[in-house]
Amino acid sequence: MSGTPVSSMLLMLLASIIGSFGAVLLKLGAGELNKGFWHILNIKLAAGVAVYLVSWYFFVLGIRHGELSVLYPMVSLATSGRSFGRASSSKRRLPARSSQGWG
């Protein structure tokens, strides 16, 4: 086993999950920006920034004692979670069939 403690791995996993929620909140808050500049002061946008800061804190704690070659691939979980969160928070429906081949 590598020299990376399990606690660092769990912190990275937690940071990835929290960061995914931050991305969804930022997207929801950014949706209100088309109403005018002063809608930049909305609770969803502020919550998204705050959640991202919490995620960053856990990320730093996680990489402090672990090996990046073990921990950094866990960041891909954040990307997957953000993609899922964006798709589930979107008001658009995905097309039933793709126009790129598959049938």
Q: Could you tell me if residue 83 is inside a domain?
A: yes
pLDDT at 94: 52
Q: Could you tell me if residue 34 is inside a domain?
A: yes
* 82-100 pLDDT, tens digit each: 666 555 555 555 555 555 5
- Please give the structure tokens belonging to residue 54: 């919490």
Q: Could you tell me if residue 24 is inside a domain?
A: yes
pLDDT at 88: 56
Q: Could you tell me if residue 69 is inside a domain?
A: yes
Q: Could you tell me if residue 43 is inside a domain?
A: yes
Q: Could you tell me if residue 103 is inside a domain?
A: no
Distances (CA, A) of 103 to 96, 97, 98, 99, 100: 10, 7, 7, 8, 8
pLDDT at 90: 55
pTM, two decimals, is: 0.67
pLDDT at 103: 47
Range of the domain at 38: 6-88
How many domains are there within the chain? 1
Give the span between the Cα atoms of 50 and 43, in whole angstroms. 10
Q: Could you tell me if residue 39 is inside a domain?
A: yes
Q: Could you tell me if residue 75 is inside a domain?
A: yes
* 28-74 pLDDT, tens digit each: 888 888 877 777 788 998 999 999 999 999 999 999 988 888 888 87
